[in-house]
Amino acid sequence: MLFVVISMHIWDKSYSLIAWLALVAFYLIYPHVQYWRSVSSSDPLRTEMSNLVFDALLVGVSIAALQFPLWISFAATLGVLTDNTANKGMRGIWESILAFVLGASTWVVLFGFKLSMETDIYTTLFCIVGLTGYLLAVSNIGFARNVQLRTTREKLKSREQELLDSNQTLIKHLAEISELQHQLHEQANRDPLTGLYNRRYLDSTLERELSRCMREGQPLTLLMMDIDYFKHVNDLYGHQAGDEMLVRLGKMLTGLARAGDVACRYGGEEFLLFMPSMALEAGQSRAEQLRKDFAEMQVEFGEFCLQTTLSIGVAVYPGHGTSGDELIRAADAALYQAKHTGRDRVVVMAGQ
């Protein structure tokens, strides 16, 4: 646009060949040199920003050389300001003004100041139309960028929602996995029939609780129990009847156990209950209550009503042992004694 406008102006003013050569150099050749310089640079964006400043400098030189024609000066200055502002913001305005003034001042210092602001009607009209078209083009580019920005923002918002949904799904799956892991852990440590802990859990827990009782100077009472005449129940009524009796004993132990107590199915019809921070007298009292409750319990099985008794051996830390194995052996020995002295009784291991 500037090339056409300035061509019309210098034709009207009958400028020399040098003016035409300068016009071709500034407005036809120089833009291609700019482009080559930018694409060849290691930092094209930074180079292009410096080109914009140099544009303002050259526009200042050419406007001063043309003796500051009003409409051409206005269009060229506004175009340079628009380019720099669109790419640099407020900093671009001050840079372009300083570069323009520097370029015009350089020409004035070298060749003197001359002022001829008039342009013919055709040059003026083309300048107005060209400037309007340029500003509309810049506005349309801004509009297109805004549309692209809104589209990108909507896509990002959609992606963000997708990520949030995926994150919620992942959290749900992790919770399900955690729950499954907990269930697997429970299944690995629980007896499937009675729901009590198994030998595996007992082995990993008893020593830990004993160590805590040692540190805190607290006792630990352990009960080992066995259902009397259990084989007779199985042989006479079947294994389902025996299983039902085991289940009922498991529920009874669960109801008896405190928060820190651990009830286990030790094997077959043998059960174990250890109670941290419980002295022997209190533990023996619990055992007696358990024996009495079990003896009074009636298990309905079909048309039969089953009833039997419980033998219990009691051992306590530290009197009967300082390790889990020692306590279990002591309680088992007391249980053996209860079995062979009439059953349906609680026996405390000798030595306490």
Q: Which residues are catalytic?
A: 269
Cβ(347)–Cβ(287) under 8 Å?
A: no
Which ranges of 66-120 would DSSP assign to H, the alpha helix? 70-88, 90-111
As a whole number of angstroms, the distance between CA 55 and CA 80 comes to: 7
Helix (H) or strand (E) holding 274: strand 270-276
**Number of residues written out for the chain:** 352
**Angstrom distance (rounded) from CA 45 to CA 315:** 85
Residue indicated by tokens 């008893």: 206
Asked if 66 and 22 count as a contact pair (C-beta separation under 8 A), the reply is: no
DSSP H helices, 217-322, are 230-237, 239-256, 280-296
Angle at 58 between CA 52 and CA 63, to 5 degrees: 125
CA R_g for the chain: 49
220-227 and 299-301 as β-strands: parallel, antiparallel, unpaired?
A: unpaired
Nearest to 56 by CA among 9, 91, 12, 18: 91
